[in-house]
Structure 1
Amino acid sequence: MQNIVNVRIDERLIHGQVAVLWSMHTKATRIMIVDNDVVKDAVNKAALKMVCPQQCKLSILTTQRAADNLKANKYEGERVFIIAKGPHALREIEELGYHFEEINVGNMGGKQNTKTIKKSVACTPEDIEDFLYLAGKGVKLNAKMAPTDSDVDFEALLKEA
């Protein structure tokens, strides 16, 4: 059976912290980027392939393909680390019938029409709606930047905000 070792929201996708700290901590053998736009962006895909850790295979998938592959147990025997830029892609996968136990909220930079929920995490009203949908489906939401940080209950932070 495939082993989902981490599901992380990080708008930067693969960067130093993910490539070194998170992939080593989780002992990931595959990084799965889930993003309907990145799939169509040859330059971004090439950059992600260059920064993917050597010990990991890389998949860059649409939400539909990711849900299909996960439901079909395509990555049997692998340690899969899933990364999305924001909560909407993960909500789509949940709506397509694949359930995540836990999602780690890492980095979502401030943009127009966002509310800062915690340091390095700013959400639009749509992001908050997506997070609350996931929490309502029983997905545990935690926030931490690095694997050695303490878990922070992200759903509680959303409700306080």
Structure 2
Amino acid sequence: MAITAVRIDGRLLHGQVANMWTNVVGATRIMVIDDEVSNSEVAKAGIKLAKPAGINLSILNETRASNNINEGRYDSQKVFILVRHPRVLVNLIQNGVEIKTVNVGNMSQSDETKSITSSINVVQSDVDAFQELHSLGVNITAQMVPSDPILNFMDLLKKF
């Protein structure tokens, strides 16, 4: 399988991802990996509305996503993986999925988060997961839209 891009975005699939990122990365399939969303018909319906025409869509829990990827189910496709949290990517890697680069787009603000950039907000468990990804050799970048400069996320994380 050709994983063409992996993005952390708290909004998962939305207009910006559907219209800009999908074209830039040349995806033929968007794979939303989220245990909560995969179990909610309402959440899945909302994501399906944002799917660009002509692009395949999978909305899977972590276990099924890992299994499908490792079984070669998408080998002939260019897959764009979307997750909300970095821990999901650590889990995928620990389950044998090869991930080399991750783009961090939007991580929403809450009362518990600390801002890294205007669009990236993290809690300590996110920081721990990012550090684990980094230690696993994953290149982590930050870029909200394709026209923005690509930033080294680990440099930004030092502000935490």
- Which TM-score band (shorter chain)? over 0.9
1:104-123 equivalences in 2 (<5 Å) = 104-123=103-122
Scaled by the length of structure 2, what TM-score is found?
0.96
Give the residue type in structure 2 aligned to 1:64: T
Equivalent residue, structure 1, for 2:126: 127
Asked if residue 93 in structure 1 is aligned to residue 92 in structure 2, the reply is: yes
| Identity over aligned pairs, percent | 38
SS of 2:35's partner is coil
Unaligned runs of 5+ in 1: none
Q: Deviations over 1:28-55 (max 9, x none)?
A: 1100000010011100101111210112
Deviation at 1:5? 1.2
Q: Deviations over 1:80-99 (max 9, x none)?
A: 00000111111111121212
Give the residue type in structure 1 aligned to 2:2: N
1:25-104 equivalences in 2 (<5 Å) = 25-104=24-103
Unaligned runs of 5+ in 2: none
Equivalent residue, structure 2, for 1:155: 154
Tell me how large the CA RMSD over aligned residues is. Answer: 1.0
Runs of 4 or more off by more than 2 Å in structure 1?
A: none
Q: Distance in 2 between matches of 1:108 and 1:69?
A: 26
